[in-house]
Structure 1
Amino acid sequence: MLGVFHRWRGRLCSKHTNRRKFFSTSSPRVAVALSGGVDSSVAALLLKKQGYDVYGIFMKNWSEEEESICTGQDDLSQVDQLCRHLNIPYRVVEFQKEYWNEVFQPFLSGYERGMTPNPDVVCNREIKFRALTNNVFSRDPSVDYLATGHYAQLVPDLEDPRELELRCAVDRKKDQTYFLVQVDPQMLFRIKFPIGHLTKDRVRQIASENGLPTAKRRESMGLCFIGKRKFDQFLAEYLFQPETEVVSSETGKLVARKRGAIYLTIGQKVCIGGLAAKLYVVDKDARNNKIYVCEGRRHPLLYRRMLVAYQMNWFTERTVEKMRNGSEEIRCWAKIRHGKEMVECKIRSLRVDRWNTCFNDNNSERYSDGSVEKWFQEYENGDSGKQGRAIEVEFNDPQRAISIGQFLGLYSENRCIGGGMIIKVGKNEWTRACSDKGVPN
């Protein structure tokens, strides 16, 4: 049964409710985003034990037609059991339209343009920490916080008490700060991450000790709207599968034609029947329906030292000022995808003259729908809102398979300082080596 409840004239009215009466309290109120998994369940449990007035909120982001694939109905059943166990109310909010427009359509559009989108980062920015927070705080002004089951930590900034630091979780293998790099820093003051100081094993243990119905529930992996389907099968349901030309990056010759290969990502293996060589995607040209490949997973064509990221989101104002200044260089650590180890780099505000001089072997326009050019035109014209929001990154060591459309996460020790979308990459190591030797490439 759905646990939808409404505040009406000071009492709980219900439509398919768990029938727990709602009483006013002086304890701080927290809405906990419940997914039906063990992490958000333990988050709710811990907050209740700490004396907060807790209620659950379950988001429906995917349409009913896809429920045989997405586990939405199953998740909702788990949330209902959990809330009965904890004796807390919950309600359901529907964001199918928002999710389709702000997350899913851009995801498909990105793949059509040859990018490698990250819908999890966009979902956190547009749905969980925008649409959901707006819904929670505007619907009930008595709510003090929104809590989630993310593995991340928030602590006061020692240098500026007006700001919060987003720190990595204690369990570094489960750390999810990378997925939060685009969240509005002002929103963090009303957010709680109750399990960020715990390991996953400890979370499971707490759930078992307290008899939570989700204690042994299997962890969900991957994108919820794909379900158990293979990724290429999923894309084939929504995007036209053209016969793509597979071209050798070294010789420029046609190697093969493969249907749907344009949707492979940089660094991914290309399986072509009858070829003994192991081929990997080096670059893509979606407009002309071509991918460029090399032989061998460690080929220098796959490695690059530099990238440009834009629409940067900074968690402290002092970092914004350093980037606006334009002359200061910051040494930090970076992630170019989730699961990737942090690597050392230096960042600086992007100078417009370097856009084409240092990044001219990669035609970013072929990935764009026009919005990137418009953004950078405004940046070049001195738009104050965009200053400090585009950076160039130079890694100490070349990085494999940097993909346009993915997000860059930046860190100072265990503190996440910001992140933005990767929109352009520098010369690959093969090209750099040829240039250094004066050899045409």
Structure 2
Amino acid sequence: MFKKVAVGISGGVDSSIAALLLKRKGFNVQGVFMQNWDIRDEKGVCSSEEDFKDAQFVCNKLGIKLNHVNFVKQYWNEVFCDLIKEYESGNTPNPDILCNRNIKFNYFYKYAIGELGCDAIATGHYANSSFGRFLEKYESNKAVKLLLAKDSKKDQTFFLCQVRQEMLRKTMFPLGNLTKLEVKQLAVDNDLERIASKPESMGICFIGSRNFQDFIKEYIPDKSGDFVDINTGKVVGKHEGIHKWTLGQRTRISGLPVAYFVGRKDVENNIIYVASGTDHSLLHSDLFFTGEPHWIHSEPSELQCNYILECNFKFQHTENWKRCQICKIENGLVVKLDEEMRALTNGQYAVFSKNGECLGSAKIKTTPISRFSYDYDVNKYKEKSETEIITEQI
């Protein structure tokens, strides 16, 4: 049924092998290189130029056409501007999730279907679909599930947790049943060793090798404020901007006998409250709240009936899945973890899975510090009960 497929070619090994497997399956493959960023770093380098050369090398080897499409404006407006607003609000965003939702599984999809006349798209993500890796189980009247990849260490459904059903229904994940080692070996066996030997991209793509704090000051001006010990209420140092710090991060304040870690941000007063020691109780919690959830297939039946949903949770790609219980409240969710986690962070996505399926996600909006009320008159904090916290949220 699906004959013509557009595969997003980034110049990396994963998308290259996705295209190779599609061609072997007999599809009419079109490569698409998406340019999402065009600003050079401090060394005058724009990484997308080198990536495009690698993408062209791959397509020449595979004998497929490479289309170059510019989504710089869309990325700036719908990913990067959101990132800046989040940092200014004291949150820590995840641009990779927004890029997938707003660019790859929106503009790329529409370009492939509408302008190239393709039947479906494909990416090099390590993920699976209930319709099969090559949509061999596709049913036009049936919703599709996003399933975890075979390689649990490489599984990338975390980054796809905001993808909409419309686009997912016509998306192929050729690498879903392969490991990273198998993918690299396929590249070597098919004269793509140059691509297989490239270092894997890590972190936020447009920052590259630059220090984050040096990068972000180009877009958000420095604003000096105080580091305040959350136990004593005393100023222990100075920072140059709340946007440069995230919950749980070590501050490295000079001249102090103990290590301090970010425990809370007071955006209105430009204060960062810090806790001494990496295991301070303020940095750990087993309860948090989210905004409105996005369910990939459908809202789980337990939540539809106002029951508690038992499933798995993570808020960082590299973390292991943790058991949790979820219930609905107005405009969001309450999430109770089976065990405490460190540095649950506002602005990050809480991603949920169950029985090998990525269910969806919701943005974390209330982090562990909300479990404590602080009395600055006596320089002490006390923990609230779960009933008090949930009542306040409702």
Q: Say what the alpha-carbon RMSD is for the aligned residues.
A: 2.2
CA distance in 2, matches of 1:76, 1:38: 13
1:185 corresponds, among 159, 162, 165, to 165
Query: Of 313, 318, 326, which residue of structure 2 is paired with 1:334?
Result: 313
Q: Is 1:423 the counterpart of 2:365 in the alignment?
A: yes
Residue 252 (1) aligns with residue 252 (2): no
Secondary structure at 2:247 match in 1:
coil
Name 2:392's counterpart in structure 1: none
Q: Which residue of 2 aligns with 1:123?
A: 99
| Distance change >3 Å, CA 147–CA 435, structure 1 → 2 | closer
Secondary structure, counterpart of 1:394 in structure 2: strand
Residue 303 (structure 1) aligns with: 284
Partner AA of 2:319 in structure 1: K
Matched, 1:202 2:182: yes
Amino acid at match of 2:144: L
Match of 1:311, SS state, is: coil
**1:146: which partner in 2?**
121
Q: Deviations over 1:275-301 (max 9, x none)?
A: 121000011012211111111101111
The CA deviation at 1:189 is 1.2
**SS, match of residue 19 in structure 2:** helix
SS in structure 2 opposite 1:305?
strand
2:73 aligned counterpart, secondary structure: helix
Residue pair 2:39, 2:46 contacting (<8 A) in 1 also: no
| Aligned twin of 2:335 | 393
User: For the Cα contact (< 8 Å) 1:300–1:428, is it kept in 2?
Assistant: no
| Alignment of structure 1 residues 67-216 onto 2, 5 Å | 68-141=44-117, 143-156=118-131, 162-212=142-192, 213-216=194-197
- One-letter code of the match for 1:135? Y
- Counterpart secondary structure, 1:214: helix
Name the CA distance, whole Å, in 1 between partners of 2:283 and 2:40. Answer: 40
| Secondary structure of 2:195's aligned partner | coil
In the other structure, the counterpart of 1:347 is 326
Cα deviations across residues 269-326 of structure 1 (Å, max 9, x unaligned)? 001111121000011012211111111101111012211222311122251x54344x
Please list, as runs of the form range in 1=range in 2, the aligned pairs for 1:182-331 lying within 5 A after superposition.
182-212=162-192, 213-319=194-300, 322-325=302-305, 327-331=306-310
Q: CA deviation at 1:435?
A: 5.0
Unaligned runs of 5+ in 1: 1-25, 353-378, 380-389, 437-441
Instruction: Name the aligned partner's letter for residue 132 of structure 1.
Output: F
* Helix, strand or coil at the partner of 1:392: strand
Give, in whole Å, the separation in 2 of the partners of 1:227 and 1:249.
Answer: 34
Shift of residue 241, structure 1, vs aligned partner: 1.1
Distance 2:14 2:217 in 1: 33
* Counterpart-to-counterpart distance in 2, 1:97 and 1:116: 23
- 8 Å CA contact 1:305–1:428 kept in 2: the answer is no
Out of 17, 22, 25, which is 1:50 matched to? 25
How much does 1:70 deviate?
Answer: 3.8
CA distance in 1, matches of 2:101, 2:297: 17
Stretches of structure 2 lacking an aligned partner (at least 5 in a row): 374-380, 386-394
**Structure 1 residues 273 and 425: CA distance shift in structure 2, 3 A:** closer
1:404 equivalent in structure 2: 346
Structure 1's consecutive aligned runs of 4 or more residues displaced over 4 angstroms after TM superposition are 64-67, 426-436
Work out the CA distance in 2 between the residues paired with 1:226 and 1:243.
23
Partner in structure 1 of residue 376 of structure 2: none
Structure 1 residues 318 and 294, CA gap change in structure 2 (3 angstroms): closer
Distance 1:140 1:204 in 2: 29
Q: SS in structure 1 opposite 2:100?
A: helix
Are 2:2 and 2:120, in contact at CA under 8 Å, matched by a contact in 1? no
Give the stretch that moved more between structures: 148-157 or 86-95. Answer: 148-157
- The structure-2 alpha-carbon separation of the partners of 1:77 and 1:435, relative to structure 1 and needing over 3 Å to count, comes to closer
TM-score (norm 1): 0.80
Work out whether residues 69 and 228 of structure 1, in 8 Å CA contact, stay in contact via their aligned partners in 2. Answer: no
1:206-236 CA-partner distances (Å, limit 9, x unpaired): 0000112412222111111101111111112
Measure the CA separation in 2 of the matches of 1:28 and 1:434: 59
Match of 1:367 in 2: none
Contact 2:40 2:46 in 1 (8 A): no
Match of 1:384 in 2: none
Q: Structure 1: how far apart are the matches of 2:205 and 2:158?
A: 18
Deviations 1:335-387 (A, max 9, x none): 0222111111100111x4xxxxxxxxxxxxxxxxxxxxxxxxxx5xxxxxxxx
What SS does the aligned partner of 1:237 have?
coil
Q: Is the 8 A contact 1:146 1:190 kept in 2?
A: yes
Letter in 2 for 1:103: V
Q: Which amino acid in the other structure matches residue 125 of structure 1? A: R
Distance 1:412 1:150, change over 3 A: same
Contact 1:301 1:428 in 2 (8 A): no
Asked whether the equivalents of residues 371 and 384 of structure 2 are also in contact (C-alpha less than 8 Å), the reply is no
